[in-house]
Amino acid sequence: MPPFNKNESVNKQKLELLTYPNLPEKSLNDETGKTLPGDREYDNAMDTAQTQTERMTRFLAGDKSANGAFLVGVLTTGIYCLPGCPARKPLPRNIVFVESPAQAREMGLRACKRCRPDAFYAGRNPDGQQLTALAEAVRHDPGAFAHVSDIAAASPWGVTKLTGLFRAHYGVTPAAFLMQARVQAVVCLLRDPRRPVLEAGFEAGFDSASAFYRCFRQVTGCAPGEYQKRGFFSPHHAY
């Protein structure tokens, strides 16, 4: 078979056969011709085959907009590339699709020196960088954020996207993150044994005594006054 290059039109059916030679045969209800229940395995295999076909099409076309969506491992040379790599395209039978640089390295593949996939992945998460800075600002001064909407206002995102990012990166909602940051700030303030407890709560951004006491107990397991008296941060004073 001649090598593919980006000038050749890609025959999708041929690619399906190349990438998925063992697709299970579809079983049909004889009377209706509809798929029988229990054919999920077939449907999953079809989804995978379609994804593989689409990836192959984009890779062979040198589609730069596919960079970041998946990686291409070349088994004959042992390297992995971005889909839009300008190097000559390998034979389709010699490639595998990989989800991440880490997965490619686990397979023993090396990063291509032309398209530099590792550099691409390292620089492509601006959301992550902005989120880290925002979370740091919240931890540093939770009293400056009265509500989750104030966190959103300090970010380039709306509350929905903000919530998704916090859940993905910190495993909690922005509201829970803010509450924990407040409690943490109070803990620091209460290292001073003369600091009035309630004043510390308000300074950290709690807007009512009841919310303060409830949240503090929820995070630390005890009341703020008790926490301060026990001198958790100076063990020789404890009890």
Is 111 a binder of Zn ion (CB under 5 A)? Answer: no
Nearest approach, Cβ of 61 to Zn ion (angstroms)? 15
Instruction: Kindly state the smallest distance separating residue 133's Cβ from Zn ion, in Å.
Output: 32
Applying CB under 5 A, among 6, 26, 114, 140 the residue interacting with Zn ion is 114
Q: Cα–Cα distance between 139 and 24 in angstroms, integer?
A: 54
For Zn ion, the binding residue among 115, 151, 187, 189 (CB under 5 A) is 115
- Report the alpha-carbon angle 203-231-201, nearest 5: 15
> Is there a contact between 43 and 56 (Cβ–Cβ < 8 Å)?
no
What string of H, E and C letters represents the secondary structure of 10-54?
CCHHHHHHHHCCCCCCCCECCCCCCECCCCHHHHHHHHHHHHHHH
The single residue among 66, 104, 109, 112 that binds Zn ion, judged by CB under 5 A, is 112
Q: Do the Cβ atoms of 220 and 183 come closer than 8 Å?
A: yes
* Residue 113 or 236 having the CB closest to Zn ion: 113
Residue 167, φ and ψ in degrees, nearest 5? -60, -45
At 219, list the tokens.
Answer: 């995070």
Taking CA atoms, 221 is separated from 79, 97, 178, 213, 224, in Å, by 52, 49, 18, 11, 9
> Residue 187's closest CA among 152, 151, 216, 230?
216
Q: Which is nearer to Zn ion, 115 or 181 (CB)?
A: 115
Residue 110 C-beta: closest distance to Zn ion, Å: 11
- For residue 34, the tally of other CB atoms under 10 A from its CB is 9
**Closer by beta carbon to Zn ion, 89 or else 182:** 89
Residues 56-95 within binding reach of Zn ion (CB under 5 A): 81, 85, 87
Instruction: Select the span of 3-11, 64-72, 108-116, 153-161 touching Zn ion (CB under 5 A).
Output: 108-116
Considering the complex, state which of residue 67 and residue 163 has its C-beta at the smaller distance from Zn ion.
67
Binding segment for Zn ion among 25-33, 59-67, 106-114, 199-207 (CB under 5 A)?
106-114
Q: Is 6 in the site for Zn ion (CB under 5 A)?
A: no
Stretch that binds Zn ion, among 45-53, 115-123, 188-196, 210-218 (CB under 5 A): 115-123
Residues that bind Zn ion (CB under 5 A): 81, 85, 87, 112, 114-115
